[in-house]
Structure 1
Amino acid sequence: MKKILMITGDFVEDYENMVPFQALIAFGYQVDAVCPGKKAGETIATAIHDFEGHQTYTEKPGHNFELNATFDEIDASNYDALYIPGGRAPEYLRLNETVLAIVRAFFDSNKPVASICHGLQLLAAANVLNDYKVSAYPACKPEVQACGGIYADIDITDAITDKNLVSAPAWPAHPEFLKQFVALLTQ
């Protein structure tokens, strides 16, 4: 069974956290969800971001999500892939040097990585996007470009794979995003 590490945190986007977590488990993968400073059994708060015709998304309280692994006990080398959901969590998680080192370890070993929406903020901060063609929530475009990434302006329901990285703009892309990630996992 392949093991996937999911780095998440408070106010992660609810759908981008829960749906891939459950779907990947349903596909037969072990998914360990961790958050810096928290242990297995503790919860994080999530937020639901919706597209309701305003200039940006709206935010509402989501569900509490129970972590199933302890951040301080993980070893990136024990995992086959990395998943990073979006929302507001990546904004502060990118300030954690251990998180950035874990992200770099997955890229250094060319393991599959999936990142959706604002999750690209972690990849940009880890400086691993040079020459990668990626998608993210449009507000992340300047960060992608500033670190040498190539921003792909794709439909909100699409995803893109470049080398070992699958990325997508937001949760409406889940079907395509997960299909591409599973394709990487089965190579």
Structure 2
Amino acid sequence: MTAKNILMLVGDYVEDYEVMVPFQALQMIGHCVHAVCPDKTAGQTVRTAIHDFEGEQTYSEKPGHNFALNFDFAKVRVEHYDALLIPGGRAPEYLRLNEEVLALVRAFDAANKPIAAVCHGAQLLAAAGVLEGRQCSAYPACAPEVRLAGGEYMDIAVDHAHVQGNLVTAPAWPAHPIWLAGFLTLLGTKISL
């Protein structure tokens, strides 16, 4: 396996599982993952939120962990990365207001590099304008944004993922096994057991 360099865009109140699990799993199999946040540097942290499905009409939210960034946002250059990963939670809601973040998403897509987005991560895809004519899954509350951005919202089970071209998307963290497997396929990663 050839190790890949993956950029992970995070921010305060990113969903805990959606940042921790991919960050650790992708490194475990040998990939390099740079977790960055605008206006923050390596060693600083972002707060996470734990979203759970407990029978109410939407997810519940509880305080999560502090997640340590391991690279400086200001040093990010798209050409140094093979792929982009966008966790969900509340972070995408405000990250989509940052033009530098949107430019990164557009650049990864224009270069046809693999992009994995889960849950509210689709808010960044929609705001960056990369969903026109494409299929995208997301947390159901993001369906209107996917549609308004010209995309086709894929209403799939919470533990499923959807792959189209360079894009792999999923509704929420219960999809991690399938979502991450789809991302690894796009990366060309083969795992021998």
TM-score by length of structure 2 reads: 0.96
Deviation at 1:119, TM superposition (A): 0.3
Match of residue 122, structure 1, among 121, 124, 127: 124
Q: Which amino acid aligns with 1:152?
A: M
Within 2, Cα distance between the matches of 1:60 and 1:143?
Answer: 25
Q: Provide the residue aligned with 2:32 in structure 1.
A: 30
Q: Provide the residue aligned with 2:170 in structure 1.
A: 168
Q: Provide the residue aligned with 2:143 in structure 1.
A: 141
Q: Deviations over 1:1-44 (max 9, x none)?
A: 21000000000000000001100001110000000010000000
Match of residue 66, structure 1, among 68, 72, 76: 68
Match of residue 80, structure 2, among 78, 81, 84: 78
- SS of the aligned residue for 2:79 comes to helix
Are 1:102 and 2:104 matched, yes or no? yes
Query: Which runs of at least 4 in structure 1 moved beyond 4 Å after TM superposition?
Result: none
Deviation at 1:111, TM superposition (A): 0.3
Q: Which amino acid aligns with 1:62?
A: G
Within 2, Cα distance between the matches of 1:146 and 1:181?
Answer: 25
Point out where structure 1 has 5 or more consecutive residues left out of the alignment. none
Are 1:157 and 2:159 matched, yes or no? yes
- SS of the aligned residue for 1:154 comes to coil
Provide the identity percentage: 64
RMSD between superposed Cα atoms in Å: 0.7
Within 1, Cα distance between the matches of 2:69 and 2:121?
Answer: 18
Within 2, Cα distance between the matches of 1:74 and 1:133?
Answer: 28
Within 2, Cα distance between the matches of 1:145 and 1:186?
Answer: 30
Match of residue 41, structure 1, among 43, 52, 58: 43
Question: What count of residue pairs does the alignment treat as equivalent?
Answer: 187
Deviation at 1:76, TM superposition (A): 1.1
- SS of the aligned residue for 1:62 comes to strand
Within 2, Cα distance between the matches of 1:103 and 1:126?
Answer: 6
TM-score by length of structure 1 reads: 0.99
Within 2, Cα distance between the matches of 1:180 and 1:34?
Answer: 23
Q: Deviations over 1:53-83 (max 9, x none)?
A: 0011000000100000000011011100000
Within 2, Cα distance between the matches of 1:148 and 1:44?
Answer: 31
Deviation at 1:170, TM superposition (A): 0.1
- SS of the aligned residue for 1:144 comes to helix
Q: Which amino acid aligns with 1:89?
A: A
